[in-house]
């Protein structure tokens, strides 16, 4: 397919698909209809990708996880199984989108935020290649830390060290906690992300992720090991809260699989002809990679709006951000 374009690009080749509107969850006075549409509309807070990711932990628990009784002791066999399963899930999501967008280049630059392909022959990246660099950090470090946290959680459940929820005894609580994991993750991500932007941690770790100004699916989990330790520490909540192991699996998988979905670099995936589905709808986070000093969280619970770091993608916000950076950096 030729490299056709859709939308408005500025003089730097940056595509500006829309102005971002914060979610209405905390608007005052409340707007129940707007909230329901935002939560369950298409695209919306839960649809399409978050609801698909929410189904994966159920299948994982019943079909791809050893019996809890076998995980009372650390043994290489079941630990390797968990690691390989997590790598396979990441390969399906990140690898699938990478294949479509960056190997097949099936829709060219159509709906791509930056009209440039991923870096090759660039010494900033391991192996002088952005994709190989991103895959290394994602698979070796990312899946390694993700698996380590998951393994420790199973071991703690198996030995009765943390509270175990019998879901049949408390089905309403089980479902409510499951639905709450998405916003809980947004809160944890915002706080951890602000921490990682503090100068010592940025220099030690977070700069690895920010090498990816032009993002691709494998950029999502391309982080230094220190950052992976912070990023996947979301699982600590289930070490103290009454929960079922599937809640912990879900939060870890949400962190691991939504990251590549949020870094595809494309707004939409062209299915057939002019038909399209959202590729990530995360222009909000793309602007963070472009400017570094805005949009630290997600566009759900609007923490950036509250703390004055919100960039809505408008020409006014672009101008304000450029003026701020020029003032700071000269």
Burial class from Cβ neighbours inside 10 Å (0-12, 13-18, 19+) for residue 47 reads middle
Strand partners, 275: 272
Please give the pLDDT value at position 23.
Answer: 85
The pTM is what?
Answer: 0.94
Is 264 part of a structural domain of the chain?
yes
For residues 238-250, average pLDDT: 98
Query: Percentage of the chain with pLDDT > 70?
Result: 96
- Looking at per-residue confidence, does 111 or 324 come out higher? 111
Spatial contact of 270 and 111, defined as CB atoms under 8 Å apart: yes
Nearest to 264 by CA among 280, 283, 288: 280
For range 84-113, the mean pLDDT: 96
- The tens digit of pLDDT for each residue in 31-67 reads 999 999 999 999 889 999 999 999 999 999 999 999 9
- At residue 219, the pLDDT reads 98
If phi > 0 it is left, if psi is from -120 to 50 it is alpha, else beta; for residue 271 that is: alpha
User: What's the mean pLDDT in 236-242?
Assistant: 97
For the chain, the domain total comes to 1
pLDDT at 76 over 70: yes
Structure tokens at 124: 């900033």
Reported as a single tens digit per residue, the pLDDT across 204-226 is 999 999 999 999 999 999 999 99
User: 285-308, pLDDT tens digit by residue?
Assistant: 999 999 999 999 987 777 998 899
- pLDDT top residue among 50 and 7: 50
Q: Rounded to the nearest 5 degrees, what angle is found at the Cα of 230, between the Cα atoms of 57 and 136?
A: 75
pLDDT, average across residues 225-250: 98
pLDDT of residue 329: 62
Mean pLDDT along residues 107-114: 93
Whether 39 maps to a domain, the answer reads no
Q: How far apart are CA 70 and CA 91, in angstroms?
A: 27
Inform me whether the pLDDT recorded for 260 exceeds 90.
yes
Report whether pLDDT(1) > 50. no
No. of helices (H) and no. of strands (E), the chain: 15, 4
Would you say residue 2 lies in a domain? no
- The boundaries of the domain holding residue 296 are 8-19+48-329
- How many other C-beta atoms can be found within 10 angstroms of the C-beta atom of residue 209? 25
Specify the residue for token string 């950090």.
137
CA Rg, the chain, in Å? 20
Helices in the chain by DSSP H: which ranges?
Answer: 32-40, 49-63, 76-90, 96-98, 130-136, 143-158, 171-196, 199-201, 207-210, 225-231, 237-240, 245-261, 283-291, 303-307, 315-329
The pLDDT of 301-323, averaged and rounded, is: 87
Instruction: Please report whether residue 67 resides in a domain.
Output: yes
Residue 293 lies in a domain: yes
pLDDT at 242 over 60: yes
Per-residue pLDDT, 11:
73
pLDDT at 281: 58
* Secondary structure element (H or E) that encloses residue 8, with its range: strand 8-9
* Residue 36, domain member (yes or no): no
In this prediction, residue 248 has a pLDDT band, given cuts at 50, 70 and 90, of very high
- Residue 330: which pLDDT band, with cuts at 50, 70 and 90? low
* Res 145: pLDDT: 98
Neighbouring residues of 121: CB distance < 8 A, sequence distance ≥ 6: 128, 129
CA angle 313–318–320, rounded 5-degree value? 125
Whether 174 maps to a domain, the answer reads: yes
């Amino acid at each position: 397919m030729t490299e056709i374009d859709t939308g408005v690009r500025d003089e730097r080749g940056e595509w500006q698909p829309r102005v971002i509107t914060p979610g209405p969850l905390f608007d005052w006075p409340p707007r129940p209809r707007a909230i329901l549409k935002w939560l369950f509309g298409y695209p919306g807070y839960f649809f399409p990708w978050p609801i698909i990711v929410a189904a994966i932990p159920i299948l994982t628990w019943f079909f791809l996880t050893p019996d809890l009784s076998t995980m009372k002791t650390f043994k290489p066999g079941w630990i390797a199984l968990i690691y390989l399963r997590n790598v396979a899930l990441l390969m399906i999501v990140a690898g699938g989108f990478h294949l479509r967008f960056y190997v097949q280049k099936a829709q060219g630059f159509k709906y791509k935020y930056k009209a440039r392909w991923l870096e090759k022959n660039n010494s900033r990246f391991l192996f002088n290649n952005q994709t190989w660099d991103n895959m290394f950090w994602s698979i070796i470090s990312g899946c390694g830390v993700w698996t380590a946290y998951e393994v420790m959680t199973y071991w703690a459940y198996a030995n009765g060290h943390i509270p175990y929820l019998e879901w049949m005894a408390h089905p309403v609580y089980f479902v409510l906690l499951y639905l709450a994991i998405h916003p809980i993750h947004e809160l944890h991500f915002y706080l951890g992300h602000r921490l990682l932007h503090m100068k010592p941690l940025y220099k030690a770790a977070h700069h690895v992720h920010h090498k990816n100004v032009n993002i691709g699916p494998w950029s999502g989990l391309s982080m230094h090991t220190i950052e992976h330790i912070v990023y996947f520490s979301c699982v600590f909540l289930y070490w103290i809260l009454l929960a079922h192991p599937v809640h912990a699996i879900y939060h870890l998988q949400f962190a691991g699989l939504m990251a590549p979905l949020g870094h595809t670099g494309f707004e939409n995936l062209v299915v057939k002809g002019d038909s399209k589905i959202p590729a990530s709808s995360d222009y909000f986070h793309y602007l963070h990679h472009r400017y570094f000093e805005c949009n630290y969280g997600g566009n759900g619970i609007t923490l950036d709006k509250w703390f004055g770091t919100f960039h809505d993608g408008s020409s006014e916000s672009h101008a304000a951000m450029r003026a701020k950076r020029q003032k700071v950096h000269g």
